[in-house]
Structure formats: C-alpha cells, structure tokens
Chain A
Amino acid sequence: MPRYAKLSDNNLSLADSLINSYEVHLGKKKKELKSLVTELEDKGYEYRFVRSLSLLLDRRSSFLCNSKVDPVDLRRKIFQATEQLGLPTTFDNRQKIIANVASSVSLSTKEVEENFYSDLDGELVLEKFSSPSSIELLSAYNLGLTQTLLFEASELYFTTSGNWQNIFYAIKKFGLIYEVYEENKIWVKIDGPASIFKLNRRYGINIAKILPVILDNSEWIIKAKVLWKFTNEVCDFKIESQTHSSLLKKQYSTHITYDSSVEEAFASQFQALNSGWVLKREPEPLPAGKQVIIPDFTLEKAGIKIYLEIVGFWTEEYLQRKIAKLRQIKTQMLLLVNQTLACEKLSRLKNNSEFDLIYYRDKIPLAPILRYLETKFEEVKSKELQTLKELPIRFTESIVDFDEFASRIGVSKEAARTFLTENLPSDYVAMADVLVSKAKLVQIDNKIKEALIPKGNLALTEAARIIEKEGLDDSANVLVALNYKIKWRGINSEQAEISKIH
C-alpha cells in the first residue's frame, strides 16, 4: 500500500508553505527556490515527500533563461578566445581571457561570468506559476503515488458508478485489452496483448494513465496485481472510494474525453418531448461474453427497457459484428446510423433492414424513434403476456403487489398489471397497484364497521389509518371497493368523514 499523504494539518501546512515558496520566488532563480525546498526537507519532513511535492509544483511552473546575451554564443566566444590566447592554467591568464571576451561583447567581466552558464537548470528564472490549493497538491501527490505503483502492475480490476464511455475509450486508446465479468457488480479486468505469455509490467504505464478516468466518478473499487520490483513477488493492491476518495480528489484534468456532442443534442431534444419514456445517459455496460457493450442511452417506460446507441463512422462489417454481439446478449437495442458517415457504398446496406436500425442523414429523427419505441413496447408487452398466460399462477397471499410480482416472474410491471387485471382470480379485487383478496377486504370492512357503530360515521383519516395498518396504502380505492362514500367538508381531509352506502 502506498504511503498516502493524509489531509492532516501538518501536511496541509507543508503544502501551503511550498506553494507559497513558489509564489514568492517568481522572477528568481530556480536554484534559490530549490535550496528553500531543501531547507524544508531538513525541518523534519520526509525528504522524498517534500521533493515530490516540489516536482508537482515544477509542472505548474515555467522556468526561463532571461539572459541579456545568448549564453551559447558567449561560451563559443570564450572557448575561441581560450584557443587563441592559450589554455589558462593560472588565474591571471584566465582573467585576461575573460576581459578580452567582455570587451568584444560590450559586457563587464562580471556580466560575462554571470552569463557563462546562465542556461543551466539551476540558473533559470521562475517566470510563471499557477498555484493549486494545498488539497489539490496533496491529491495530485496521492494520485502520482498510486500511478507510480501501477507502473509495476501486471493487471488492473475495477468497478465504478459511471463514466464508462470515457473509460473504455481510454482502454482502447492505450492499446489495452479488457474482459468483463459479473460479481454482484460489473467488473472489468485490464491487461495487454502480451500479458497472456507472462506476468508483464509492460502495460503498467498505460494502466496508470487510465486511473484518473476511473477516479473521475463518485464510486469506485480498484484492485491491481503489482510485481514488486526487487523480488518479483506479486502483491495485491486495493483502493475504494469509500475509504480513499478524499485522498484522491478529482484531478485538475484527465485529458481523455470522448466527444459526445451528438449524444448531448439528442438527449435534450428527446427529453423535451415528454414522451413518458425516461432517458438515461451512459447506463451501466452490458456484458456480452467477455466483452462489453456500452450503450449511449437507456429508455425506460413501465419497466420496459430499450437501449439506444448512436453509431459514428462505420462499415457494414462493423455493423454486422455489433449486431452479432447484440444477439448474444438478447437485449433490445436500437442503432441510429448516420448514412453520411458510412465508410462504404450504401447499396450494400439494404439487406440490413431485418435489424433494429434507423438510418438518418443530418439530424437524428425523433418521430421514427418514438414509433419504434411504442411498437417495441407493445411487442415486449404482448410477448410477456404470452409468457404469463403459460404460467400456472395461483396466489395464497392476501395482497399481491404488481411490482413485486413482475420482478419475481421477470416481466415488466406494465405486462403484470395488464395480465392480472385481465385475468383476475375470482376471489381477488384489482386496485391501482395491487390485487387484494376478497377475504381480506371483508376483514377490513369489519374493522371499519366496528369503528363506525357508535356514531354511524367515521373520520376519513381514521379509516385510512385502519386500512394502512392492514398493509394497503391506497385507502381511497379500498373504500370505494367496500361501498363507502366520502363526505368532504372543505378541502381539508382532516374534516372529511365516511359513511356506508346502503
């Protein structure tokens, strides 16, 4: 486990004083700045820690040579003078050469000495510095520490709450290979092509590059196998957002983003339709064998889920492979294909009409998508109804919840409702979201009647309390089913009363 820098007062104040050192050294030489950093090392802080923080700050700095003369030219003149006047093995001879050069470039001897090596690293001057906060600096340190460890990693495993599109884009970009598996959550394993031959550090650097993209999420668990440099032992490494997210705050920039302007435009247009379909961007990836499909959207209505993906540049072979993958996972997915981005002639595409594809030219068309969704909705529903009809269904419980029933059987809520209300068992009554047995209703009716007896009527709130106590929250529908009527006195339900209709 790397020794993370905690966000302790001690560390934060070290970070602050380092940042401050850089700020006050604007316009001064790098070696002066660095000697101040060395002083901090000697004040009891671990020197590696101080040095790493300083290196991170160097990356936010720009150091320049601000010499009046080009030091390379000046040196050339000095070396040429040495050649002409002879190698100075005495101090006097040396001064003669310097004086000679000084007069030829119209500088003082002091300026010649100062500019002799003014382009060396330590002589450069801090011109610009963009200050981070102390927390940002410590986070960057912790990220760097983790990445350094991952340089030695042979493989990485992670699960996360989102940002899938960018993560898989990065995996591809860095030439890595992934496999997907499910263990309560969707896990992804990353390594590289040659990993199959032996445990291999080669991909460590690229694995480390993906880390910030994974961390750019609210929840994550990351595990890695790390080959210990000296002994080649395999060590397990694990961090998760629950315990580590404060140490590894979101970084300044991750540099890997997927262009998603087309997706964004579509999402906002679709949402403006208020179609009843709930659109979600970048849902969880769908495992397809060991590979994965990351759909752009899910569209959900009454428990029926349809995936949708916008296809960028494509070839027929690409579409065929994609469709084969989709068949494997038996999921409803609609592909929106831009004809102008085809990488081959359109005439070859006609045969594809059997698949769930919508071609378009300029703008993603909403009407055919809605038509598709409604057709699919009916299709899925009727298929599910068929399944339900073939099942032997008998209830023993007094209350049957549609939601619970739907998920138990594995159908949409919509199909469950339609099926249960259309094939109502004779001893049950259908409410909005549940079926209730007639016996249960009689039991409730008796309890209400008991409360009614003294006065002949009862406060609505009291009746609702009795019904809820019996496990039903839809009191209004229950009362209607039991032949009660509600007398309203104004709009306040506290004053409403019920009585039996005879």
Chain B
Amino acid sequence: MTGLTGHNRLSIMLHLHFDKGTLLLKGQVGTPYGKWDPRVECYRIKAHHYRDVLDYLHQSKQQIRDDVAELPPLEQFQGSIKLRDYQAEAADKWHKAGNRGVLVLPTAAGKTFIALKAIQKLKVQTLIVVPTLDLIDQWRRRIKENLNVEAGVVGGGEKNLRMVTVATYDSACIHAEKLGNKFMLIIFDEVHHLASTGYMQIAEMYIAPYRMGLTATYERTDQRESLLPQLIGDLVYSVDIKDLAGEHLSPYTYEKIAVELTPPEQEAYNSQIEIFKKFLQERRISLRSAADFQKFIMTTGRDPKAREALLARNKAMKVALNSEAKLAVLAKQLEFYNNEKIIIFTLYNDLVYRISHRFLVPAITHHTPRKERREILSNFESGAYPVVVTSQVLDEGVDVPDASVGVILGGTGSNREYVQRLGRLLRKKDEKLARLIEIISKETMEVATSRRRHRKIGGNS
C-alpha cells in the first residue's frame, strides 16, 4: 500500500446536496444535525440546518462538495430607501442578531420598508412569504417602486422565480421540495401564521440562512409562537401601537353605538336563541372559551340535536348582524361622514352584498374577481369611490389607502382581528383624526363579543 492517491482522495470527499426539502450528506462523516437514513444509506439533514452543517464540516476541516443552492440570477437594485428612526433601529437589531429574528410593529408602521432595506443591503436571493394574493400584489408593487426590479411570483396560478420572489404561505409550503434551495434570505410577512403545524415546515425545508419575521400580533391564542425562535430567530424588536400613535400614526377615536333590534327582529332572535340555550342546559354544556365552542361544533357533525341548536344560534346571530335598525344607523353615519373615506367591515358576505346593494357602494369579498378588486382599491385610493364594504378579506396587512372612518358591523371577537381592522385606519395624513365606529345590537350576544374583542387593546377613546 502506498497511501491515498489523488484520485482516491477525491472519492472520499463529502458531498452535500438538496433532496426534496432536505439535505443529503454522502460520505463517511456524519453531523450532529443529521440523521442516518437507511432508505438511501446516507445522512439526511433538515434544510434549515444548512449553515450549521457547513460550519460543522469546516470546523472539522472536512472538504466538501456543496451542490445545495441553485439560486436565481442576481439583479441590480436602484434607488434608496430612507427609514424612520424606529425602523432603522429595528433593522439594526436584526442585522446584529446575525440577520435573523422577528420584528413586531403595528400595522401601518412601515414593516415593508424595513424588509426592502434589508434586501437591498444583503443583495441576496430573497423569498417573501405572505398570507394572501392581495399581499403578493402589494409587495410586487413595493419592490418595483423601491428596488426597481420586477418581483418573481409563486402563487395564484403564477410561478416565476427571480432574485426577489413573493409567494403565499400555501405555495411556499406546497413547493418547498422545489423552492427550498433557491433563496438565501427568507422573509415571513405576518409571521404568526408560520407557527401553525403545516406552515412550520416552510421554515424547516428552506436552506436560507438569513430569516426575517414581521408581524403586528406576535402572540397566538395557542401560544405556538414559542416555536418561532428556533426556526427564524428571536424576537429582536418590538414596538407598541401606543408608542407610535400620534407621532408616526394617526391618533384615532373609538365609538360604540348600541342599536335595539326592531320588535319582530327581537322576537325572531329570542325564539332562536332560546332553542340554543335550552340545548346547552339540557346537555349541561358550558361554552366558556373558543376551545369549548370548537368542541361543540365538532359534535354537531353526528348529533342532529346539536346541529339544530347550532343552526338556531346562527340564525339568531344573523338576525342581530343583519338588523334593519343597524342598517338605518349605518345610513346615518354614512350621511354624517359624507366627505370622508369610509370603509365598512362585516363578517358575513351576505351582509356585505346587502350593504353594497342597498347603498350602491363597491364590495370586496373573496369572491370578487382580482381585477375588479384592484380597480376598486385604486379608485378608493384616488377618492373616486369614497366608500368600500368588505368582509374579512382585507383583514391582514393589505394597505387600504388612508381611510379616515371605519365602521364595524359584527365580528368574531378575536383580538387580532380587532387590532388589524383598527390598523387599517391608522394612516397619518394632514393631521386628520381617524375614527372607528362599531355598531352592535343591544340585548344580544354581540355585546359580549364586542367586549371580549376590546378587552386587550383598549383604544384611546
């Protein structure tokens, strides 16, 4: 034996490559991040450990052939992005944490700009993951305006990869096997979504060593946000809505108008809610939390009595939500604020279309064709349409240009929803005072819902 020849030395070199959302390490060396996979007879590693594995092998002075990343071509950015003080501070903290971590800022505080600035600074292939198709459009516009490059898009039937690409959570998850090795920076907009079991895999199946999470509402009702630090880094910056209101965002007022149901409505409401209450009493069910309610819903699949009770409750809720009296109050509000930009929120599409039909104002729900939605939003922005009525579609992150009055008709009572609906109004423009008006029905369960919704945020009304 004369020792290793050059050729032999090559043949024992380690080889790291990407395999459907994971990494495969071939060769006789393992890593603390990997696991021996007997099915393919080599080490398999979660993709998000990409940098850790490289570090480990370099520290161990092992030569490796790294075929992991397959990146889209680099493009040149143009233009400059100026950050406000608190934005610059947030960006700085993120860079110092190794270009990883979560930033919590209220809606309308300009999270997008912090992200765009980071992309501009790092100059690496970037994937931005967003919850809705609306947000894809919005990011695409912002990227064009601020970096002067076209964004790639994955989602809503489109699939083209570019240096800066925007994808929905769904598409990023479904295509993780193919997209996982194409980006070095990954930005999660509305990052609280990432903590759900399904979406969590996005964080695990992408190699990107640089990671940014953005949200206005870090906490989840299920507390799964505690899983985020190991996936994208710690919470590195957080600023409260109250710290920014007045200084960077418009101050706002909050007003609640309780409306009595018309007598026939009250009667219909009572008779339906009685059925529901009686069922709960008979079965000794108490509905104290969202989880209790979830359990109750599940029983309705197989228990006809439970289903009957649920349907009765829904009918009662609908009576309260769709109350004529509420629409009359709404008419008054619309009259009163007729020089303002008004956005009306409600939970049910039926009611959205009823309002649209009654007041002849544009409606946006998830049934609205995308092109029409874009047209309505841009007309709303320019002032051509002063009023828009919508269900939950616009809830998250999508900027509605400087609405000055918001009217809520009904809601689910979740805290996050409230914060985000509120945020929609907080556009600072000409020192104007934003208004939020909630119209609820008196003597119905809706009062409790509204109280619950209001408990945490407590606006400066």
Residues of A within 8 A of B (CB): 46-48, 72, 75-76, 78-83, 86-90, 94, 97-98, 116-117, 119-121, 175, 177, 179, 192-194, 196-197, 201-202, 290
Contacts and interface: CB of A to CB of B under 8 A. Distances in A.
A47 B306 CA distance: 13
B369 interface: yes
19 contacts: A47-B307, A72-B369, A72-B372, A78-B360, A83-B385, A86-B338, A88-B359, A89-B331, A89-B359, A98-B360, A117-B357, A175-B177, A194-B22, A196-B35, A197-B35, A197-B46, A201-B198, A202-B198, A290-B39
B448 interface: no
Given A78-B360, A94-B360, A83 B353 contact: no
B201 interface: yes
Nearest to B19: A193
B97 interface: no
Contacts of B205: 194
B39 A177 contact: yes
Contacts of A197: 35, 44, 46
B375 A76 contact: yes
7 smallest beta-carbon distances between A and B, as pairs: A89-B331, A82-B360, A193-B20, A193-B22, A89-B335, A196-B37, A79-B362
B201 A81 contact: no
Nearest to B335: A89
A83 B44 contact: no
B387 interface: yes
Contacts of B177: 175, 193
Interface in B233-289: none
B20 A192 contact: yes
A120 B39 CA distance: 51
Given A79-B360, A89-B359, A193-B44, 17 more contacts: A46-B302, A72-B369, A75-B362, A82-B360, A82-B361, A87-B334, A87-B335, A87-B386, A94-B359, A117-B357, A120-B353, A194-B21, A194-B46, A196-B35, A197-B46, A201-B198, A202-B201
B455 interface: no
B402 interface: no
B32 interface: no
B29 to A, nearest CB: 18
Contacts of A76: 375
A201 B367 CA distance: 30
A202 B205 CA distance: 11
A116 to B, nearest CB: 7
B384 interface: yes
A78 B338 CA distance: 18
A87 B22 contact: no
B38 interface: yes
Nearest to A119: B369
B204 interface: yes
A83 B386 CA distance: 8
Nearest to A3: B302
A122 B358 CA distance: 19
B301 interface: yes
A48 B302 CA distance: 9
Contacts of B19: 193
B197 interface: yes
Interface string B19-50: 11110000000000001011110001010000
Nearest to B178: A175
Contacts of A117: 353, 356-357
Interface string B217-231: 000000000000000
Contacts of A46: 302
Contacts of B338: 86-87
A94 B359 CA distance: 7
Given A87-B334, A87-B361, A79 B44 contact: no
A169 B80 CA distance: 51
Given A89-B359, A193-B44, A196-B35, A121 B367 contact: yes
Interface in B342-375: 353, 356-362, 367, 369, 371-372, 375
Contact of B358 (A47, A78, A79, A94): A94
A248 to B, nearest CB: 22
Contacts of B353: 117, 120
A98 B386 CA distance: 18
Contacts of B331: 89-90
A196 B371 CA distance: 44
Contacts of B332: 89
Interface string B188-224: 0000000001100100110000000000000000000
A223 to B, nearest CB: 18
B307 to A, nearest CB: 7
Contacts of A121: 367
B387 A87 contact: yes
A279 B228 CA distance: 59
Given A79-B361, A194-B205, A89 B39 contact: no
A83 B20 contact: no
Interface string B305-334: 001000000000000000000000001101
Contacts of A116: 357
B39 A87 contact: no
A72 B369 CA distance: 9
B17 to A, nearest CB: 12
A206 to B, nearest CB: 10
Contacts of A78: 360
A175 B20 contact: yes
Contacts of B369: 72, 119
A18 to B, nearest CB: 20
A196 B332 CA distance: 62
Contacts of B360: 78-79, 81-82, 87-88, 94, 97-98
Given A78-B360, A194-B22, A201-B197, A48 B301 contact: yes
Contacts of B372: 72, 75
A87 B361 CA distance: 8
B385 A79 contact: yes
